[in-house]
Amino acid sequence: MTTPSKAGRLRIVQWATGTVGSAAMRAVLTHPDMELVGVKVYSPGKEGMDAGELCGMEPTGITAVRDRESILALKPDCVLYMPEHTDYNDVCALLENGINISSTRAEFFHPGSMDPAIRARIEAACTKGGATLHSSGSSPGFITEALPLVLLSLARRLDLLTIDEFANCIDGCSEEMLINIMGFGETPQAFAQRPFYERDEVFNHSLRALAQALGIVIDRFEVTSEVALARRPVKLHKSTIPAGSVAGQRMTTTGYCDDRPVMRFRCNWFVTEDLEPGWDLRSDGWRVMVEGDTPLDISIGFPIPQAERQATLPNLTAHRPVNAIPAICAARPGILTTAELPTILPRLD
């Protein structure tokens, strides 16, 4: 638990400044109750740059560093931890030094799904430093945990929860994410060889956290996937992927209880709607269907003008971890799930 500074503002460090990290940093810089005090980057080209320059704002006088010790020396109240890969040595060093973490990393959505040794190590670091770790975002996070918990407060029986996500990924993801991590532009054969177990676990962990909050025991998950190919070349940000390469990917994660499907998340991710085979795609957004004694069918769209999509879409992932910071700093030490924190409320500009 952290007590705000005398000025009443929480001191924040942004850890990693990719597309989502930059959006989070902009939110901190404009937040009335937060103060950006440091920036951690990985690229030598970003080292020494001003935080404002890194996220498209006016200069702040805060320069980016690459070493961990400089961040620890700042003694921030919370770090927005948003790298592409988790370094448990860094995470434990922050927590042991009493620095809370608000993250988008999928490893931390459900402590019970973590490797037991890693979980024990992180929980020990939380105890030693009196610090809290929480992971969230838009998907997984808001759509797989926060919103279903509210919707199911109307129910007494759940037969099946189905969440469909539709996303044209170009404007919401960096080129490196689209090509190197998500695999767009690859041949179907190469795509099939990619180790997607980490991505599978992203939604498994989040759905397990939801199920646990509802008192449902998930016996097993079944994950299926399929791809669709570009009918013609598709331009991403700088590069162009060829016709016949992977331009759409659909993954369905289904959780079973007593051999009955009770929770399902289906992502429909694409970089063009001109696909072979043709898919029944919607505009960016979600559809949530609740089957049970209180049926619901809810569609959520993102009415963002085309010219503003690239700047706005990352906010969907970045803003919830920022808004969660006060609750995280006030919480008991440990790795906490969405259900263990109070309702996340924004402090609007």
DSSP-derived pairing of the beta strands 10-15 and 34-40:
parallel
**In terms of domains, do 267 and 170 share one?**
yes
What's the pLDDT score for residue 242? 97
**In terms of domains, do 78 and 214 share one?**
no
**Tally of CB atoms within 10 A around 117:** 8
Alpha helices in 61-158 (DSSP H): 68-74, 88-96, 116-129, 147-151
- CATH of residue 126: 3.40.50.720
What's the pLDDT score for residue 1? 60
What's the pLDDT score for residue 306? 87
What's the pLDDT score for residue 174? 81
**In terms of domains, do 284 and 164 share one?**
yes
Instruction: Tell which residue, 29, 37, 33, 32, has the closest CA to residue 13.
Output: 37
The domain total for the chain is: 2
Sequence-distant (≥ 6) Cβ neighbours of residue 146 within 8 angstroms:
136, 320, 338, 344
**In terms of domains, do 157 and 180 share one?**
yes
Between CA 109 and CA 41 the distance in angstroms is 24
**In terms of domains, do 45 and 157 share one?**
no
Between CA 288 and CA 297 the distance in angstroms is 6
Residue 5 lies in a domain: no
**In terms of domains, do 172 and 208 share one?**
yes
Residue 105 lies in a domain: yes
What's the pLDDT score for residue 349? 79
**In terms of domains, do 265 and 156 share one?**
yes
Q: Can you list the positions of beta strands (E) in 169-327?
A: 220-230, 234-235, 240-241, 246-257, 260-270, 275-276, 285-292, 296-301
What's the pLDDT score for residue 2? 59
Task: Confirm if 207 and 144 have CB atoms less than 8 A apart.
Answer: yes
- CATH of residue 206: 3.30.360
Residue 314 lies in a domain: no
What's the pLDDT score for residue 111? 96
As separate numbers, helices (DSSP H) first and strands (DSSP E) second, the chain gives 11, 16
**In terms of domains, do 214 and 116 share one?**
no
User: How large is the C-alpha radius of gyration of the chain?
Assistant: 20
Task: Confirm if 174 and 22 have CB atoms less than 8 A apart.
Answer: no
What digits encode the pLDDT tens for the residues 259-283?
Answer: 999 999 999 999 999 999 999 898 8
What's the pLDDT score for residue 310? 85
Instruction: Tell which residue, 141, 154, 79, has the closest CA to residue 338.
Output: 141
What's the pLDDT score for residue 177? 86
Task: Confirm if 48 and 64 have CB atoms less than 8 A apart.
Answer: yes
What's the pLDDT score for residue 181? 87
**In terms of domains, do 244 and 295 share one?**
yes
**In terms of domains, do 285 and 153 share one?**
yes
Domain that holds residue 66: 10-136+324-340
**In terms of domains, do 200 and 122 share one?**
no
Task: Confirm if 300 and 148 have CB atoms less than 8 A apart.
Answer: no
Per-residue confidence in pLDDT tens, the chain, 349 aa: 655 554 689 999 999 999 999 999 999 999 999 999 999 999 999 999 999 999 999 999 999 999 999 999 999 999 999 998 999 999 999 999 999 999 999 999 999 999 999 999 999 999 999 999 999 999 999 999 999 999 999 999 999 999 999 999 988 788 888 999 899 999 999 998 887 655 567 899 999 999 999 999 999 999 999 999 999 999 999 999 999 999 999 999 999 999 999 999 999 999 999 999 999 898 899 999 999 999 999 999 999 998 998 889 899 999 999 999 999 999 999 999 999 999 999 999 7
Q: And the tokens for 229? A: 């190919």
Residue 191 lies in a domain: yes
Task: Confirm if 141 and 205 have CB atoms less than 8 A apart.
Answer: no
